[in-house]
A and B are shown apart, each in its own frame.
Chain A
Amino acid sequence: MIDIQDLNVTFSTGADLVHAVKNVSCRITAGESFGLVGESGSGKSTVLRALCGLATDWSGRVSIDGEALEPTARRSDSFYKTVQMVFQDPYGSLHPRHTVNRILSEPIAIQGLDKPGPRVEEALEQVGLGHGFRFRFPHQLSGGQRQRVAIARALILKPKILLLDEPTSALDVSVQAEVLNLLMRLREELSLTFVLVSHDLAVVSHICDRIAVMRNGEVVEEVTADELARGEPGQRYTRQLLVASRGYDREAIDQFEDFG
């Protein structure tokens, strides 16, 4: 479904050059749920942004659903109907002056699909928001509700692949669980392929079958969820992330190494 070979992403040029992603390769099959974890700045979100065309300074071979991608911002219409993204911050990902209805109808209008009304109702239904939310403005919604709207917006073009950029890290813990369960249910119902980016190993291991651990723009290792559940990842760095995800523990933290 997604095939990434030797992906390199850079920002700026000359002396300010930042090599954000270095030689990342991975293959994600249809229906799979793939996780990318790593600390802040490890380049995991950048991989997603390169995939969907928001970062354009990349090299390497990337193909999605058999279609080879070019490092340009503009993609084909079929790309937009195959791949959609959910962003990290639900407070920044919804237009403050648009109603939920407008937010959800716009993709339908852009892609020239029929029956906008029923499609919007259906998408709201899918993410567990009732009819009453349809004409609200984002400021009338809670963080969890906003993220549900963002998920509905990503689903409205009926994509096969959902890119999730830390979809729960801006939400409080109880709402996190709700949104994660919603994502799991949707994945099953709509047989979606997930690429989930998170710094939280617990979240990733909850959702994903296979996990790539990233540090300083490189993939350190790839583990399966089972290996992670048994607590036996190969790399010390991954083990440290695993300890960190179990919550704050002074003894454990004192033994942390700096992998900088």
Chain B
Amino acid sequence: MTDLSTRSPTGLKAWLTNENPESHLQASCGRAYYAWLDFAANRLALLGLIIVGLLVLVAALAPLLATASPIAPDLQSRLLPPSADYWFGTDELGRDIYSRIVYGTRLTLYVVVLVAIIAAPVGLLVGTSAGYFGGWIDKVLMRITDIFLAFPRLILALAFVSALGPGIENAIFAIAITSWPPYARIARAETLTIRRADYIAAIRLQGASAGRVIWGHVVPLCTSSIIVRVTLDMAGIILTAAGLGFLGLGAQPPLPEWGAMISSGRKFLLDQWWLASIPGIAIFVVSLGFNLLGDGLRDVLDPKSGD
């Protein structure tokens, strides 16, 4: 066994693990490095990260990876089974399912990222304000949250989409509107435990405004639980988007949205199984990836699991 303590590391690792960092950047990188070591020790979380990374990569390189146009029909080659030419077969209009899946990653990512960007900050803002100020602000904000929580997510999203009209943007908006309340609840609960802390009292004693306290001191401690929750919710968001697509209220034809692909493949399920199964498998794999990633992040980021 080699004695690790006497061997002084050099280069990047030494810079990262330095006990006396020279700058804020180095300190933050060092902290991130230790978090990464924790994360990398969890094999399943790594698998989740790889799946999500692949999703991003495929979405970015879709034009290079696709072997055919995802929307141009070719009625000569309808409903062909998987083969060397058509890896995942073709659908009822002769479109290459592999290319549609590849381009579908863009729509999936689009939905997931936009929902996260809209819903998480709204939830964070509402929750931290309610928790920090308390009193009637808390009551008003939380009752609004309760109203949104009272509806099942898909039903409320359905109502919004039918009011706004079908389409991928409206579907995203509807999902975002229905997914912020849990984040507000989490952020409020976290804030309630933080706001009586001495470090909050200390910064208030230095004249900090409420905005500065919330943004600089409360939010950083809430974000990790929100990030974990958002990542775990990603699977649900993908499924809701696919569900709306399946019901014809999400992405409209000929967009290669996975839920819509399942919906149109349903008619051929018994004889041409690949039409519905391949997008189904894609949704399953991506959802699984996000769930595994979320589990791993929870272990690393949870502020209550050590420091």
A105 to B21, CA, bound (A): 17
Interface residue B206 (Cβ < 8 Å from any Cβ of A): yes
Give the interface segment out of A6-14, A81-89, A211-219: A81-89
Report A38-73 CB contacts with B as 1/0, cut-off 8 Å.
000000000000001110000000000000000001
Q: Tell me if A150 counts as interface (CB < 8 A to partner B).
A: yes
Query: Which of B36-44, B89-97, B135-143, B213-221 contacts the other chain?
Result: B213-221
CB distance from A130 to the nearest CB of B (A): 8
> Which chain A residues numbered 155 to 171 have a C-beta less than 8 Å away from chain B?
157
Chain B residue, CB-CB nearest to A90: B198
Contacting residue for B27 out of A85, A88, A136, CB 8 A: A136
The smallest beta-carbon distance between B297 and chain A, in angstroms, is: 16
Q: Which residues of chain A come closer than 8 Å to B208, judged between CB atoms?
A: 106, 110
Q: Kindly list chain B residues whose C-beta atoms are within 8 Å of the C-beta of A206.
A: none
What residues of chain B lie closer than 8 Å to A84, measured between beta carbons? 205-206
Contacts of A106 in B (CB 8 A): 203, 206, 208, 216
Enumerate chain A residues within 8 angstroms of B217, measured Cβ to Cβ: 95, 98
Q: Answer whether A135 and B199 are a contact pair too, CB < 8 Å, given A54-B205, A110-B207.
A: no
The verdict on A97 contacting chain B, using a C-beta distance below 8 Å, is yes
A205 interfacial by beta-carbon distance below 8 Å: no
Partner of B205, one of A80, A88, A102: A80
- The docked-state distance in angstroms from the alpha carbon of A190 to that of B266 is 80
The residue among B26, B203, B204, B207 with the most chain A CB atoms within 10 A of its own CB is B207
Distance of A95 Cα from B217 Cα, bound (Å): 7
With A110-B208, A111-B207, A157-B206 in contact, is A89–B23 under 8 Å at CB? no
A58–B22 Cα distance when bound, in Å, is 46
Cβ–Cβ < 8 Å partners of A97 in chain B:
220-221
Asked if B303 lies at the interface with its beta carbon under 8 angstroms from chain A, I say yes
Q: Which of B198, B206, B220, B221 contacts A110 (CB 8 A)?
A: B206
- A95 CB to nearest chain B CB (Å): 4
Q: Give the complex CA separation of A10 and B161 in angstroms.
A: 53
Report whether over half of chain B's contact residues are helix, strand or loop; otherwise say mixed. Answer: helix
Are A99 and B24 in contact (CB-based, < 8 A)? yes
Q: Is B20 an interface residue (CB 8 A)?
A: yes
- Contact check, A135 vs B221: say whether CB atoms are below 8 A apart: no
Per the bound structure, the CA–CA distance linking A54 and B206 in Å amounts to 12
Find chain B residues with CB under 8 A from A87 CB.
198, 201-202
The digit string for B104-142, where 1 denotes a CB below 8 A from any CB of A, is 000000000000000000000000000000000000000
Given A93-B198, A93-B199, A135:B26 Cβ within 8 A:
yes
CB of A139 closer than 8 Å to a CB of B: yes
- A101-B24, A137-B31, A140-B19 are known contacts. Are A54 and B204 too (CB-CB below 8 A)? yes
In the complex, chain A residues 112-131 whose Cβ is within 8 Å of any chain B Cβ: 131
> Is A94 at the interface (CB under 8 A from chain B)?
yes
Residue in A closest to B206 when the chains form the complex, CB atoms: A107
CB neighbours of B204 from chain A (8 A): 53-54, 73
- Cα of A99 to Cα of B24 in the assembled complex, Å: 8
Indicate whether A54 sits within 8 Å of B220 (C-beta atoms), given known contacts A106-B206, A111-B206, A136-B20.
no
Contact A93 B202 (CB under 8 A): yes
Q: Flag whether B271 is at the interface (Cβ < 8 A).
A: no
Assembly CA distance A80 to B202 (angstroms): 11
Shortest CB-to-CB span from B187 to chain A, Å, is 15
Asked if A247 lies at the interface with its beta carbon under 8 angstroms from chain B, I say no
The 13 listed contacts between A and B (C-beta, < 8 Å) are A54-B204, A85-B205, A93-B202, A96-B221, A96-B303, A106-B208, A111-B206, A111-B207, A135-B20, A136-B21, A139-B307, A140-B19, A153-B206
User: Which residues of B are in contact with A by a Cβ distance under 8 Å?
Assistant: 19-24, 26-27, 31, 197-199, 201-208, 212, 216-217, 220-221, 303, 307
Known: A101-B24, A132-B19. 10 other contacts (CB 8 A): A80-B205, A80-B206, A84-B206, A89-B198, A93-B197, A94-B199, A97-B221, A106-B203, A110-B208, A139-B307
